Amino acid sequence: MMTVSAREGYRAWAATYDDAANPVTSLLNRHLEEFVGDTRGKRVVDVGCGTGRWVSRFGAVGVDLSFEMLARGPRRVTQGDARALPFRDACADVVMCALALGYVWPVGDVMRELTRISRGVVIAADLWPGVGWKRTFGSVEIENREYLLEELDVEGLVLEDARELFLGDEERRIYASAGRMDLFERVKRNPVLWMRRWRR
């Protein structure tokens, strides 16, 4: 399988990212909203915001590497790299990062950058490591690195909540309509996503 950079991969994926039935985003959609909670009156920054679906939902400011992904979404977004965020220290009550950490390495550097701009909580979610999930779009793999969950816990953050998310009925339907129930049966036994909240 051909591998492309995140810039290239998301340039191609941007046009259909929000529309394609995807079990991973479906699973996250079912859990993240409740996990983040009420953000009214809070300053929220969404790192690796993609098309900005959480930016709209949480009244956030978003940042992403991909112009093409940003161009699909709301206006409260800016182009930037998660390794050197264009925000000042301690500027946000909630700093979130969904499904993006695997594209940026070493993950500890990104976690330190999320921590730097937070004065409240850091919330992140991503694919469960070590079970062979591929970050693919069509027939290409987007360059990524596996990391250990322990690498997420950087100095200055205290873990408040950690969840393991498993596929459910909504995701089963997506696999069924793609004719991939064999795959569903294989992956349903392990967590598909981790989701964590730390306090600064």
Ligand X SMILES: C[S@@+](CC[C@H](N)C(=O)[O-])C[C@H]1O[C@@H](n2cnc3c(N)ncnc32)[C@H](O)[C@@H]1O
Interface residues with ligand X (CB under 6 A) are: 6, 10, 25, 48-50, 53-54, 64-66, 69, 81-83, 98-100, 103-104
Nearer to ligand X, 98 or 167 (CB): 98
Distance CA 182, CA 169 (A): 15
* Torsion sign over Cα 148, 149, 151, 152: positive
Residue 67 or 181: which CB sits closer to ligand X? 67
Q: How far is the CB of 87 from ligand X (least distance, A)?
A: 12
Q: How near is the Cβ of 79 to ligand X at its closest, in Å?
A: 9
- Residue count (the chain): 200
Nearer to ligand X, 54 or 87 (CB): 54
In whole angstroms, the minimum distance from the beta carbon of 152 to ligand X comes to 16
Residue whose CB is nearest to ligand X in the complex, by number? 50
Return the number of the residue (25 or 115) whose C-beta is nearest ligand X.
25
In the bound complex, what is the minimum distance in angstroms from residue 112's beta carbon to ligand X? 14
Q: Give me 196's structure tokens.
A: 């964590």
List the structure tokens of 157.
């953050």
Sheet with 77-79, strands from edge to edge, namely 77-79, 61-64, 44-47, 92-98, 118-127, 193-199, 158-165
CA 166 to chain centre: 16
